[in-house]
């Protein structure tokens, strides 16, 4: 089998990897912000009287960061069957993978957001209050743009890790890039599919790093 044929066969896996990657980001980034609101007792829309909410957020983050992502994928995929007796179809694979990745990465993003928000000087909140800004206006117009600039390097690291972690979806037979590479390699008894997959992951991560670096430079005016 020629390299061109191998790359052609890997094409479907590439598309599924990209779909999983972007779907996870679209869900996990805003979800992480919401979880960070619940996690904090100050500088958010969560009042101090909602201690159970903060406790639940802490437990959620602890579980997501303290257990393997592969295990979480398996729980999300097989859970409906073992818990409720629901039939699992092959079409559920993509949804299970997206859900598992999104709730996992939302926990990491939440802690990154929290660190950035809590690093902001309290004087900015007080000044905004004096100027008549509401809490929502203060956060979204003044605080969040500065926070995004501060946390972008950490977000970039997590995004790059996400690209590589998409290969873990093989555990539920989701035919992403790594799964397709294994199938072709086993069939052709060749290492070329793995090399091609490795090049794909490297190039994908290189593109992500360049894009994130440009975004970071574009926010230099917040210094």
pLDDT tens-place string over residues 121-162 = 888 888 888 888 888 888 888 888 888 888 999 999 999 999
Q: What is the CATH number of the domain that holds 169?
A: 1.10.3720.10
Question: Is residue 5 assigned to a domain?
Answer: no
24-33, pLDDT tens digit by residue?
999 999 999 9
Number of domains in the chain: 1
108 lies in some domain: yes
Residue 210 lies in a domain: no
Q: pLDDT tens for residues 78-96?
A: 999 888 888 888 789 999 9
Q: Looking at per-residue confidence, does 143 or 210 come out higher?
A: 210
Residue 47, pLDDT > 50, answer no
Q: Specify the 3-state DSSP secondary structure of 119.
A: coil
Which tokens in the block code for residue 89? 């179809």
Quickly count helices (H) and strands (E) in the chain. Answer: 9, 0
CA dihedral 89→93→95→99, nearest 10 degrees, is 130
Q: Write down the pLDDT at residue 64.
A: 96
What is the share, in percent, of the chain residues with pLDDT greater than 90?
42
Q: What is the pLDDT of residue 45?
A: 44
Structural tokens at position 130: 């004096």
Contacts (Cβ under 8 Å, ≥6 apart) of 65: 107, 108, 111
> What distance in Å separates the CA atoms of residue 89 and residue 172, rounded to the nearest whole number?
11
Confirm whether 200 is domain-assigned: no
Higher-confidence position of 30 and 222: 30
Q: Could you tell me if residue 33 is inside a domain?
A: yes
Asked, for residue 195, whether it belongs to a domain, the answer is no
**Is 12 domain-assigned?**
no
What are the tokens at 12? 């479907």
Q: What is the DSSP string of 153-188?
A: HHHHHHHHHHHHHGGGGGGGT---HHHHHHHHHHHH
Surface-to-core class of residue 171, CB atoms within 10 Å of its CB (0-12 exposed, 13-18 middle, 19+ buried) = middle
Structural domain contains residue 222: no
**Which phi and psi angles does 23 have, rounded to 5°?**
-65, -40
- What is the model's pTM? 0.85
Q: What's the pLDDT at 63?
A: 95
Q: Residue 131: which domain range?
A: 19-173
pLDDT value of position 222: 47
């Amino acid at each position: 089998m020629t390299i061109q044929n191998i790359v052609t066969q890997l094409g479907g896996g590439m598309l599924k990897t990209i779909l999983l990657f972007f779907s996870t980001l679209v869900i996990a980034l805003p979800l992480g912000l919401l979880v960070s609101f619940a996690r904090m007792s100050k500088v958010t829309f969560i009042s101090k009287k909602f201690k159970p909410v903060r406790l639940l957020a802490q437990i959620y983050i602890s579980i997501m960061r303290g257990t393997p992502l592969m295990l979480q994928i398996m729980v999300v995929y097989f859970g409906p069957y073992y818990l409720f007796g629901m039939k699992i179809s092959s079409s559920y694979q993509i949804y299970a993978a997206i859900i598992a990745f999104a709730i996992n990465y939302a926990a990491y993003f939440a802690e990154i957001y929290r660190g950035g928000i809590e690093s902001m000087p309290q004087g900015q909140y007080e000044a905004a209050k004096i100027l008549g800004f509401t809490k929502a206006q203060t956060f979204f117009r003044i605080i969040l743009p500065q926070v995004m600039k501060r946390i972008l390097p950490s977000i970039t690291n997590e995004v790059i890790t996400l690209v590589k972690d998409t290969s873990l979806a093989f555990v539920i037979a989701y035919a992403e890039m790594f799964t397709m590479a294994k199938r072709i390699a086993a069939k052709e008894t060749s290492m070329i599919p793995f090399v091609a997959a490795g090049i794909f992951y490297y190039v994908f991560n290189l593109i992500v790093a360049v894009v994130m670096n440009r975004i970071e430079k574009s926010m230099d005016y917040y210094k």
